[in-house]
Structure 1
Amino acid sequence: MQPRDFSNRTRFPGNTGNNFELIFVPIDVMQRMPAPLFALVLGSVAYVVSRFDLFTAALLLTFFLGDWLLLAMLPRWNKSFGPTQPPTFMLALLRIPLAFLPFPWWIVAELVGTALVIYGFWIEPHRLTLTRQTLQSPKLGFARPLRVLHLGDIHVERLTDRERELVALCKAAAPDVILFSGDFLNLSYTRDALAQEHARSVLAELGAPLGVYVVSGSPAVDPPEVVSKLVQGLDNLRWLRQEIATIEHEGKRLDILGLDCTHRPFVDAPNLYATLNGNGPERFRILLYHTPDLAPEAAEAGIDLQLSGHTHGGQVRLPFYGALYAGSLYGKAFEAGRRQVGNLTLYVSRGIGLEGGGAPRVRFNCPPEVVLWEIG
């Protein structure tokens, strides 16, 4: 795959005004509606969709209000902390086509919809999984593979069972080194003092014999002044900014390159080349960079392994199709998982946390993951 020229593009993922925002910002205004007015909007939608049949409208409104209640309970149960009215309205739009099925099948379909809401908002976002990957390189040949734990997109809102499970999983995996590819906080909580405190408490628990290395994520989520505050005084980790950390395993050295991410490959590729500073490809080199969109340039630069995130795997994935939306300049080519780009192995993590703003705090067929690499 050859690098593409995005220099004429005006909107970029992870920056203010991106295409994802264009979808959700107009719906966000609903969060500012008084609750009675929003309920009236839902009732009006149900009444029109039911073709002015009061009984059908009442049943449909019951499903709308049930979704609203399920979302409103999420913060009370310490699950997630997003707005309730925009996703409730989006769920209502998804329910409308079901109402045109014959009675009683539309009731059955709506009940299935409620079950999916419970699963997608309450269960799967907290079903943290450990994904195992292996990679062999003639540059290494370890007797015991190097264990690299890759974390992506923690997106802390508040300390929940997911973050506690993350810490426990990191300890149980017994990695040699931990690498985090950015997005510490949820977009809605970037400046929130309590969220920052909770994120620091998670970071403070991370540890590995060869170190913990982190990079910043999207500019809108991880502004430098916020990341600096998050990592200040945490001696257990190192924030890489256009620099190389060298680790040693069984007498052989590996380089970890960490770059800030602007989501503009034409800006970040020169930083990659400058950071390499003419170093040859004799050592095994890992690029830690938030988005997968630098992979074609990294492959040309002789990087062996790139660990990225940002896309969250789409959060909602359909069978046989995958992500409904992939937050990559290369679209679905880099939506999630392992890819081969020339001699470069790329892995795009599904991440741990969730999108912010008015985006639904939902996952479907895309559980959060931590990736354990055994590199030999």
Structure 2
Amino acid sequence: MKNKITRRSFLKRSLAAILALSGLSVSGKYYTHEIEPKWLDINTISINNPLIPKGFNGFRIVQFSDTHLGFQFQLADLESIIGKINDLKPDLIIFTGDLMDHPNQYPFQKETIPLLRKLQAPHGKFCIYGNHDHGGYGSKIYDHIMRQSDFHVLLNANTSISLLNGDELFIAGLDDPVLGNPDFAAATAGIPKNSYTILLSHAPDLADTAATYDIQLQLSGHSHGGQVQIPFAGALITPPFAEKYKEGTFDIDQLKLHVNRGLGTTRLPYRFLSRPEITVFDLKSH
């Protein structure tokens, strides 16, 4: 997959955002730096699909994404979020990438592990790579932290979630397209036909390809919802592979896509009209 946006054009958009923010009042800057980045949105979505087995009716999945530890989001913020996630009583927890902003420069790698271990879900915790997780020779660092934190790292692979009555659904994880090597065939290999399948892809714009596979739900992050949005103009910063689907829920043929706005920030320590998000998915069988 080729990146259709050059680094130069992306930086131009970043500069445009900086210039826009520089025009804000002092109170506006305070809001975008101190208020909205901490103003959490817990977004609950009901997922209805005839392929969801009856045993999974009421099954709760909680997704968090894009913490970017070390930029604006810090360990104390992570600890607070972990408490909020546990309070939601998830059956399964999903992290869709970009744990640290610069993995090889982050000084509190060891301290991150006991915090992530506190996340509790009876059916497990699963994660995938984001582009920042690969960046700066961070791939092994991220893998070590997440595995030591009791997460299952899905790198172009899948696994099943099985109940005692034999009902099961599948979780597939795709590598990131910016610095990784996503492989849909490997990620979905061995999944029985007409099985309810959830794809984890850091990059939301891969949904158009995912819709050509037997996949019913895709969970993504990466975009930060644009991070800074201008009224009537929309997001000023849209990273590669998050241009088409920036935030929210979309129906693409049989596939439902949700793009989580993430929790942290990167490049600019601001959020405007793009609150940080935790997403709760309550499954409903027919």
TM-score after normalising by structure 2: 0.86
Instruction: Report the secondary structure of 1:220's partner residue.
Output: helix
1:145 to partner: Cα distance: 1.4
Equivalent residue letter for 1:168: G
Structure 1 CA distance, aligned partners of 2:29 and 2:250?
Answer: 31
Residue 100 of structure 1 corresponds to: none
Q: Would the alpha carbon gap of residues 321 and 193 (structure 1) be closer, same or farther in structure 2, given more than 3 Å must change?
A: closer
* Equivalent residue runs for 1:134-145 within 5 Å: 134-142=46-54, 144-145=57-58
1:344 to partner: Cα distance: 0.3
Structure 2 CA distance, aligned partners of 1:258 and 1:287?
Answer: 6
Q: 1:244 aligns with which of 138, 141, 158?
A: 158
Q: Would the alpha carbon gap of residues 221 and 320 (structure 1) be closer, same or farther in structure 2, given more than 3 Å must change?
A: farther
1:109-162 residue CA offsets vs partner (Å, 9 max, x unmatched):
xxx711110110011111122100111111125364110001111111163543
Residue 208 of structure 2 corresponds to: 296
Higher strand share: 2
Residue 147 of structure 1 corresponds to: 60
Structure 1 CA distance, aligned partners of 2:265 and 2:9?
Answer: 17
Structure 1 window deviating more from structure 2 (285-294 vs 318-327): it is 318-327
1:10 to partner: Cα distance: 6.4
Is the contact between residue 299 and residue 344 of structure 1 (CA under 8 Å) also seen in structure 2? yes
Q: Would the alpha carbon gap of residues 326 and 22 (structure 1) be closer, same or farther in structure 2, given more than 3 Å must change?
A: closer
Q: Would the alpha carbon gap of residues 92 and 272 (structure 1) be closer, same or farther in structure 2, given more than 3 Å must change?
A: closer
1:91 to partner: Cα distance: 5.7
Structure 2 CA distance, aligned partners of 1:273 and 1:296?
Answer: 15
Structure 2 CA distance, aligned partners of 1:93 and 1:233?
Answer: 39
Is the contact between residue 181 and residue 290 of structure 1 (CA under 8 Å) also seen in structure 2? yes
- Higher RCO structure (Cα 8 Å, ≥6 apart): 2
Structure 2 CA distance, aligned partners of 1:247 and 1:307?
Answer: 16
Q: Mind listing any 5+ residue stretches in structure 2 that lack a counterpart? A: none
Residue 374 of structure 1 corresponds to: 282
Equivalent residue letter for 1:362: Y
Q: 2:80 aligns with which of 165, 182, 187?
A: 165
Name the Cα RMSD after superposition.
Answer: 2.7
Q: Would the alpha carbon gap of residues 224 and 307 (structure 1) be closer, same or farther in structure 2, given more than 3 Å must change?
A: same
Instruction: Report the secondary structure of 1:302's partner residue.
Output: coil
TM-score after normalising by structure 1: 0.67
Higher helix share: 1
1:200-248 residue CA offsets vs partner (Å, 9 max, x unmatched):
24322212000000111103278312212322433x2211112111102
Residue 317 of structure 1 corresponds to: 229
Is the contact between residue 40 and residue 277 of structure 2 (CA under 8 Å) also seen in structure 1? yes
Q: Would the alpha carbon gap of residues 368 and 92 (structure 1) be closer, same or farther in structure 2, given more than 3 Å must change?
A: closer
Q: 2:10 aligns with which of 20, 27, 33?
A: 20
Structure 1 CA distance, aligned partners of 2:176 and 2:60?
Answer: 25
Residue 96 of structure 2 corresponds to: 181
Residue 196 of structure 2 corresponds to: 284
Q: 1:213 aligns with which of 106, 121, 126?
A: 126
Structure 2 CA distance, aligned partners of 1:365 and 1:252?
Answer: 41
> Does residue 124 in structure 1 map to residue 58 in structure 2?
no
1:296 to partner: Cα distance: 1.1
Is the contact between residue 162 and residue 168 of structure 2 (CA under 8 Å) also seen in structure 1? yes
Q: Mind listing any 5+ residue stretches in structure 1 that lack a counterpart? A: 1-5, 28-86, 96-111
1:274-302 residue CA offsets vs partner (Å, 9 max, x unmatched):
33226343210000111112111111011
Q: Would the alpha carbon gap of residues 199 and 140 (structure 1) be closer, same or farther in structure 2, given more than 3 Å must change?
A: same
Equivalent residue letter for 2:269: R
Structure 2 CA distance, aligned partners of 1:316 and 1:283?
Answer: 38
Q: 2:246 aligns with which of 310, 335, 341?
A: 335
1:87-108 residue CA offsets vs partner (Å, 9 max, x unmatched):
9xx469833xxxxxxxxxxxxx
Is the contact between residue 263 and residue 277 of structure 2 (CA under 8 Å) also seen in structure 1? yes
- Name the count of aligned residue pairs: 277
Instruction: Report the secondary structure of 1:194's partner residue.
Output: coil
Instruction: Report the secondary structure of 2:175's partner residue.
Output: coil
